[in-house]
Chain A
Amino acid sequence: MIVTTSPFTPTHDNNTHSVTGVGRQRRTAGWVLGSAMVATGLIAGLFYSYAVSVMLGLAKTDDRTFVSAMQRINEAIQNAAFLPVFFGAFVLPAVAAVLHRRLGMRDASRWILAGAILYGIGLAITFGINIPLNNELDQAGDPDRIANLAAVRDHFEGPWVAWNIVRGLFSTVALGCLGRALILHGNSPGRG
Chain B
Amino acid sequence: MSSSLFALIFFTAVACGIVGGAFFAFSTFVMKGLGRVPAAQGIVSMQSINVEAIRARFMAALLGAALACIAVAGVSLASWDESFAPYSLVGSVLYLVGTILPTRAANVPRNDLLAELDPATTQAASYWPRYLTSWTAWNHVRTAGALAASACLIWSIHVG
Could you tell me which A residues sit within 8 Å of B by CB distance?
A: 30, 34, 37-38, 40-50, 52-54, 56-58, 60-62, 64-65, 68-70, 72-77, 79, 81-82, 85, 172, 175-176, 179, 182-183, 185-186
Contact = CB atoms under 8 A, between A and B. Distances in A.
Nearest to B48: A57
Contacts of B49: 53-54, 56-58
9 contacts: A37-B13, A41-B18, A44-B21, A48-B61, A57-B46, A65-B44, A77-B33, A85-B24, A179-B13
Contacts of B55: 52
Contacts of A46: 21-22, 24-25
Contacts of B51: 57, 60
Contacts, number: 158
A43 B24 CA distance: 9
Contact of B41 (A30, A40, A64, A179): A64
Given A45-B21, A182-B157, A72 B37 contact: yes
B154 A182 contact: yes
Given A41-B14, A45-B19, A54-B49, A73 B157 contact: no
A182 B53 CA distance: 32
A53 B53 contact: yes
Contact of A69 (B34, B52, B57, B58): B34
B98 interface: no
Contact of B28 (A48, A58, A82, A182): A82
B158 interface: yes
A93 to B, nearest CB: 14
Nearest to A86: B28
Contacts of B57: 52
Contact of A41 (B6, B50, B150, B160): B150
Contacts of A186: 157-160
A45 B18 contact: yes
B41 A69 contact: yes
B20 interface: yes
B32 interface: yes
A182 B100 CA distance: 27
B155 interface: yes
A52 B21 contact: no
B42 interface: yes
Contact of B10 (A44, A58, A81, A179): A179
Contacts of A65: 37, 41, 44-45
Find the residue from B28, B51, B61, B147 having the highest chain A CB count within 10 A: B28
Nearest to A30: B158
Q: Please give me the 6 A-B residue pairs with the lowest Cβ-Cβ distance, nearest first.
A: A45-B21, A41-B17, A57-B49, A73-B33, A49-B22, A76-B32
Interface in B1-31: 6, 10, 13-14, 17-30
